[in-house]
């Protein structure tokens, strides 16, 4: 059949689906490996550094009457472990900051799959290097080599950014918030399972075997990214990777004026996300320390239940978000999540009994409903060709939040022990009042549709 000149041709065939699965399992696997690796590597550093200086003791739980001075060797091990953790994490963050800001905008042109495959390779290499260090008992500084290699390939933050960008590509504006919440629920479930498995396995068999699981999970994640993740970018085009245009695209995202003050809203929502995630990471870092010491004096079993309750917040927030969306706009669901978070932190700040501590966990049942709403709001403020740049900047914001929270909350906790042990949690609740104000003001000041003009246009 001859086609007439100028006549529309047949529609192009749909792209072949590699596998009818989305990015949720990929993020689950990445988070599982990360949550399993973190505590194991910290405990390995503790034991290796302790052995180097001749320390064979264990950390004090803080619930006895310790009238004598603390063991100076233990203090030295604590300091050395904290310093090496800082060096390793800072090295990975700085390398990742360079690569994520490069790979995120690049994925807007070449697609999401390449930026999901690259960090999976880097994470697998990092786990392999860690295993070599453990088997050969090399200097712990080689951990930094593995961490930097993983950071240069994008690290976990690039997987996070790529998955959220892929969801933004494939979801409509109405369902996007819930799809983002599902991704965050994957983070919570994976973290909970890894915490339970890693603790018991390390106690039974040491470090090597659990780290083989980390390596295996990273390999499965790589295979899944190669063979099962469907490309979500509709119109791919070749683009150079090493060019300053990618960094400029992230810069322009927040500086160029947009329609209806979209760029101003983008900056405000980014500030709100920075504060929410900073409080989340800061409080999470202190929960176990707060529970170990007096007056709670929890054992390992209650610590496990507390971690489970913290991670279950992801699931309860997912269910609450879905239910509340029937009656309320996403903005007000985010505000309810912040109120839930603030109330729970206030209760935890004065918790002196186990029941009161779990009451605080229970009140925070909606705490994780805020971040998916903010991510969804951010993605709706930019063009579909800017999603990679947006979520790359969001990943960097979360990396900065992690560093800030570690410095602020871990410094605030010992400084306030003399007058209020739970003050850091109260401080976190006060900080969250700023996102409450930001999100509320954006919603209140949002321009209302002009129905009269629409009616007059319909009549004419």
Range in 23-32, 95-104, 324-333, 349-358 the model is least confident about: 95-104
Q: What is the pLDDT of residue 366?
A: 96
Q: Average pLDDT, stretch 333-358?
A: 96
The tokens for 141 are: 């500084």
CA 162/CA 239 separation, integer angstroms: 17
Give burial (CB, 10 Å; 0-12/13-18/19+) of 127: buried
Q: What is the mean pLDDT of the chain?
A: 83
For residues 95 and 122, the answer to whether their CB atoms sit within 8 Å is no
Q: What's the pLDDT score for residue 293?
A: 74
Predicted confidence band at 4 (pLDDT cuts at 50, 70, 90)? Answer: very low
**What integer pLDDT is reported at residue 30 of this predicted model?**
95
Confidence of residue 289 (pLDDT cuts 50, 70, 90): confident
Residue 455 CB neighbours (<10 A): 10
Residue 196 binned pLDDT confidence (cut-offs 50, 70, 90): confident
Residue 299 neighbours by CB under 8 Å, 6+ apart = none
pLDDT digits (tens, 9 = 90+) for 140-169: 999 999 999 999 999 998 999 999 999 988
Does the pTM surpass 0.85? The reply is no
Which two tokens mark 369? 């409903």
DSSP state of 242: S
Q: DSSP class of residue 138? A: -
Q: How confident is the model at residue 126 (pLDDT cuts 50, 70, 90)?
A: very high
Per the model's pLDDT, the better-predicted residue between 367 and 203 turns out to be 367
Q: Quick one: average pLDDT of 253-258?
A: 72
For every residue of 344-369, DSSP letters joined together read: HHHHHHT--SHHHHHHHHHHGGGGGG
Intra-chain end-to-end CA distance of the chain, in Å: 45
CB 442 within 8 A of CB 269: yes
Q: pLDDT tier at 82 (50, 70, 90 boundaries)?
A: confident
Q: Enumerate domains of the chain plus CATH numbers.
A: 18-54+76-233 (1.20.1250.20), 256-447 (1.20.1250.20)
Structure tokens at 179: 């799809």
- Please say whether the beta carbons of 401 and 278 come within 8 A: yes
- 21: pLDDT confidence band, cut at 50, 70 and 90? low
Residue whose C-alpha is closest to residue 124's, from 37, 23, 25: 37
Pick from 103-107, 319-323, 428-432, 453-457: least confident: 453-457
Looking at the predicted structure, is the pLDDT value of residue 60 above 70? no
> Which one has a higher pLDDT value, 241 or 107?
107
pLDDT of residue 455: 44
- pLDDT of 275 reads 97
């Amino acid at each position: 059949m001859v086609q007439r000149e100028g006549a529309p041709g047949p529609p192009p065939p749909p792209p072949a689906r590699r596998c009818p699965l989305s990015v949720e399992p990929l993020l689950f696997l990445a988070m599982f490996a990360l949550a399993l690796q973190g505590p194991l590597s910290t405990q390995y550093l503790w034991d290796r550094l302790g052995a180097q200086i001749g320390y064979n003791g264990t950390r004090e739980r803080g619930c006895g009457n310790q009238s004598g001075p603390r063991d100076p060797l233990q203090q030295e091990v604590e300091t050395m472990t904290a310093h090496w953790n800082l060096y390793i994490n800072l090295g990975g963050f700085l390398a990742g900051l360079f690569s994520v800001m490069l790979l995120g905008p690049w994925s807007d042109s070449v697609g999401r799959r390449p930026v999901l495959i690259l960090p999976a390779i880097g994470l697998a290499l990092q786990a392999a290097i860690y295993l070599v260090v453990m088997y050969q008992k090399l200097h712990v500084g080689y951990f930094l080599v593995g961490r930097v290699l993983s950071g240069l390939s994008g690290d976990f933050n690039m997987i996070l950014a790529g998955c959220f960008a892929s969801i933004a590509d494939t979801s409509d504006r109405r369902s996007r918030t819930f799809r983002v919440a599902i991704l965050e629920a994957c983070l919570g479930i994976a973290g909970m399972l890894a915490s339970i498995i890693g603790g018991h396995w390390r106690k039974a068999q040491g470090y090597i075997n659990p780290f083989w699981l980390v390596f295996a999970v990273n390999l499965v994640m790589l295979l899944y990214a190669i063979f099962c993740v469907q490309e979500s970018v509709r119109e791919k085009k070749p683009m150079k990777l090493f060019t300053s245009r990618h960094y400029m695209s992230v810069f322009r995202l927040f500086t160029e004026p947009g329609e209806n003050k979209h760029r101003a809203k983008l900056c405000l929502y980014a500030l709100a996300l920075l504060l929410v995630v900073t409080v989340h990471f800061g409080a999470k870092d202190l929960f176990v320390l707060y529970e170990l010491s007096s007056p709670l004096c929890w054992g390992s079993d209650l610590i496990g239940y507390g971690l489970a309750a913290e991670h279950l917040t992801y699931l309860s927030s997912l269910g609450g978000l879905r239910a509340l969306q029937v009656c309320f706009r996403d903005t007000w669901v985010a505000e309810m999540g912040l109120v839930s978070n603030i109330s729970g932190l206030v209760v935890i700040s004065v918790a002196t009994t186990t029941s009161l501590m779990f009451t605080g966990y229970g009140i925070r049942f909606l705490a994780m409903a805020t971040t998916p709403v903010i991510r969804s709001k951010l993605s709706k403020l930019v063009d579909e060709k800017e999603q990679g740049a947006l979520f790359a900047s969001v990943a960097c914001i979360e990396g900065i939040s992690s560093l800030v929270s570690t410095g602020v909350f871990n410094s605030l906790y010992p400084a306030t022990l003399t007058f209020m042990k739970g003050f850091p949690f109260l401080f976190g609740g006060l900080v969250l009042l700023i996102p409450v104000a930001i999100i509320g003001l954006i919603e209140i000041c949002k321009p209302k549709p002009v129905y009269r003009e629409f009616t007059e246009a319909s009549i004419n």
